[in-house]
């Protein structure tokens, strides 16, 4: 609580001195009027300082790029003094998210509103803290209430529909390209799953499809199923473009989408990426692996380790029946020498080359793709039009709901819709 009208105490003091030296009814009236306003403002501001509170509630602690974030703000004033104006200052760091608001809340009352925004950038973001600014009706005191409560929200990269990309299987060396998303038959089927475009129609489980009124396919046991190692190049010197149109973001979306597709076909998927730090996740199945891999992709930052160094550090951990998926925009070709030793060891390699010239750069990937073909490495040219990013809608206007009595607002343990809201403060 801060005194804004700093001249008021001086003026009242001068009037008191004049009244003592030269008693006059006019001085007395001014002293009573100004002193009374000063006292009332002090009590008003102190009531707001003690009573005014804000809470923020988020339904989820994680989201994906393209998802909508919905946050509920609740402003409460159980004191006797009305807040004629309250400025809500939001200190969240999610790009494009602004929770600032100017509103009014009565005495012993409250107000709540919803704020919507679309996540357009992966990463870890903080919602909060929040600062409330208000004051008394005369503008003599300024009151600030700081709510330090905050919560982290992890925005994961999107999983998008990809064009058909053949990942060479590690079970056969020299067998040519194989369809990444076909499942090899064994003696018996292990389970079923929903049909995905590109599945072999002969694998459709017709009886289950008819029973569930939806296409399902058999998943067959495969003794020769190979692990997928996704090696993502995060060397900052070879990246082109900015934001969604950058090779960095396209590479991360490719890695997330390929990993998701691999898990759907019962492949163990791992990730290697050298950014600010080393990300090393050996291939595995299960929800824990999925969460850890997606979380790692969400937090990845560009680093200063070229792909040739990453491949040199990775070689000893790759077994013969391994499928390596390289995602890079490095077309200088220095890392090609590291591939030769991998090929000699019988490791299957698929290279996804983000063509720099299509992302606004000057270097063309044609020569590197030709060299890969001569080495017998399955390769694909990736351009921006091949990866469909989520379409972002304009954030909707906030929805306000006011209450006239404090008992209509609950500051903890709230429910919204059918899900549990998480109390932030």
Report the CATH number that the domain containing residue 107 is assigned in CATH: 2.60.40.10
Whether residue 206 is predicted with pLDDT greater than 90 in this model: the reply is no
Domain's final residue, options 172, 194, 221: 221
Same-domain status, 300 and 209:
no
> What is the band of 107 on the pLDDT scale with cuts at 50, 70, 90?
very high
Whether residue 249 is predicted with pLDDT greater than 90 in this model: the reply is yes
Residue 117 in 3-state DSSP? strand
Where do we find the tokens 């067959």? 220
DSSP β-bridge partners for residue 29: none
Q: What does the pLDDT read at residue 125? A: 96
Same-domain status, 216 and 365:
no
> What is the band of 189 on the pLDDT scale with cuts at 50, 70, 90?
very low
Contacts of 397 (CB under 8 A, 6+ apart): none
Query: What's the count of helices (H) and strands (E) in the chain, helices before strands?
Result: 8, 23
Question: What value does the mean pLDDT take over residues 161-174?
Answer: 71
Q: Which domain range does residue 311 map to?
A: 223-386
Spatial separation of the C-alpha atoms in residues 343 and 189, rounded to whole Å: 32
Question: Is position 169 within any domain?
Answer: no
- What is the number of residues in the chain? 425
Q: What does the pLDDT read at residue 170? A: 67
Spatial separation of the C-alpha atoms in residues 350 and 341, rounded to whole Å: 15
Q: What does the pLDDT read at residue 400? A: 61
Residue 168 in 3-state DSSP? coil
Whether residue 275 is predicted with pLDDT greater than 70 in this model: the reply is yes
Where do we find the tokens 């990736």? 382
Same-domain status, 313 and 408:
no
Output DSSP code: residue 393: P
Residue 337: closest CA among 312, 361, 303: 312
Same-domain status, 239 and 378:
yes
> Does residue 294 contact residue 157 with C-beta atoms inside 8 Å?
yes
A 10 A CB-CB count for 190 gives 12
Tell me the two tokens of residue 4: 């804004």
Say how many domains are in the chain.
3
Contacts of 165 (CB under 8 A, 6+ apart): 180, 258, 350, 352, 380
Please tell me the least confidently modeled range out of 100-104, 389-393, 400-404. 400-404
Spatial separation of the C-alpha atoms in residues 183 and 180, rounded to whole Å: 8
Spatial separation of the C-alpha atoms in residues 190 and 219, rounded to whole Å: 6
Question: Is position 174 within any domain?
Answer: no
Q: What does the pLDDT read at residue 412? A: 32
Residue 172 in 3-state DSSP? coil
Same-domain status, 236 and 346:
yes
Question: Is position 407 within any domain?
Answer: yes
> Does residue 215 contact residue 197 with C-beta atoms inside 8 Å?
no
Question: What value does the mean pLDDT take over residues 37-48?
Answer: 96
Question: Is position 1 within any domain?
Answer: no
Residue 126: closest CA among 69, 52, 76, 53: 69
Spatial separation of the C-alpha atoms in residues 212 and 411, rounded to whole Å: 44
Same-domain status, 133 and 269:
no
Residue by residue, DSSP assigns 44-90 as: HHHHHHHH-EEEEEES-SEEETTPEEEEEEEEEE-SSS-EEEEEEEE
Compute CA 5 distance to the chain's CA centroid, rounded to the nearest angstrom.
45
Spatial separation of the C-alpha atoms in residues 171 and 359, rounded to whole Å: 35
Whether residue 420 is predicted with pLDDT greater than 50 in this model: the reply is no
Spatial separation of the C-alpha atoms in residues 325 and 105, rounded to whole Å: 58
Same-domain status, 258 and 302:
yes
> What is the band of 133 on the pLDDT scale with cuts at 50, 70, 90?
very high
Same-domain status, 152 and 280:
no
DSSP β-bridge partners for residue 116: 70
Where do we find the tokens 């029973």? 211
Same-domain status, 259 and 403:
no
Same-domain status, 192 and 325:
no
> What is the band of 338 on the pLDDT scale with cuts at 50, 70, 90?
confident
> Does residue 279 contact residue 300 with C-beta atoms inside 8 Å?
yes
DSSP β-bridge partners for residue 73: 56, 113
Question: Is position 272 within any domain?
Answer: yes
Whether residue 186 is predicted with pLDDT greater than 60 in this model: the reply is no
- 142 phi/psi in degrees, rounded to 5: -115, 135
Same-domain status, 196 and 227:
no
Residue 326: closest CA among 347, 356, 357: 347
């Amino acid at each position: 609580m801060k005194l804004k009208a700093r001249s008021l105490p001086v003026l009242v003091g001068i009037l008191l001195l004049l009244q003592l030296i030269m008693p006059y009814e006019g001085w007395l009236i001014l002293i009573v009027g100004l002193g009374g306003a000063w006292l009332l403002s002090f009590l008003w501001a102190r009531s707001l300082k003690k009573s005014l509170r804000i809470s923020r509630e988020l339904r989820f602690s994680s989201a994906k790029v393209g998802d909508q974030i919905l946050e509920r703000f609740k402003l409460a004033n159980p004191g006797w003094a009305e807040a004629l104006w309250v400025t809500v200052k939001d200190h969240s760091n999610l790009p494009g998210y602004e929770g600032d608001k100017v509103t009014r809340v009565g005495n012993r009352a409250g107000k709540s509103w919803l704020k919507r925004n679309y996540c357009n950038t992966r990463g870890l973001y903080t919602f909060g803290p929040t600062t409330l600014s208000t004051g008394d009706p005369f503008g003599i005191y300024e009151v600030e209430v700081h709510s330090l409560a905050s919560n982290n929200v992890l925005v994961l990269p999107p999983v998008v529909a990809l064009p058909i990309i053949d990942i060479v299987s590690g079970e056969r060396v020299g067998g040519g390209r194989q369809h990444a998303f076909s499942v090899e038959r064994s003696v018996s089927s292990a389970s079923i799953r929903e049909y995905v475009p590109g599945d072999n129609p002969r694998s459709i489980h017709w009886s289950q499809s008819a029973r569930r009124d939806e296409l399902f396919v058999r998943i067959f046991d495969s003794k020769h199923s190979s692990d997928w190692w996704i090696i993502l190049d995060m060397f900052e010197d070879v990246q082109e473009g900015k934001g969604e149109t950058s090779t960095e973001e396209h590479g991360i979306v490719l890695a997330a989408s390929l990993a998701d597709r691999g898990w759907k076909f019962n492949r163990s998927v791992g990730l290697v990426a050298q950014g600010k730090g080393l990300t090393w996740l050996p291939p595995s199945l299960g929800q824990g692996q999925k969460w850890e891999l997606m979380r790692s992709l969400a937090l990845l930052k560009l680093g200063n380790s070229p792909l040739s160094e990453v491949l040199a550090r990775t070689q000893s951990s790759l077994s013969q029946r391994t499928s390596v998926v390289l995602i890079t925009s490095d077309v200088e070709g220095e890392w090609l020498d590291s591939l030769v030793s991998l090929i000699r060891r019988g490791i299957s390699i698929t290279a996804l080359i983000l063509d720099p010239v299509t992302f606004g750069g000057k270097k063309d990937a044609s020569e590197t793709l030709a060299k890969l073909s001569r080495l017998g490495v399955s390769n694909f040219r990736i351009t921006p039009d091949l990866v469909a990013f989520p379409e972002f809608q304009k954030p909707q206007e906030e929805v306000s709901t006011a209450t006239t009595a404090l008992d209509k607002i609950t500051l903890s343990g709230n429910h919204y819709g059918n899900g549990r809201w998480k109390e932030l403060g």
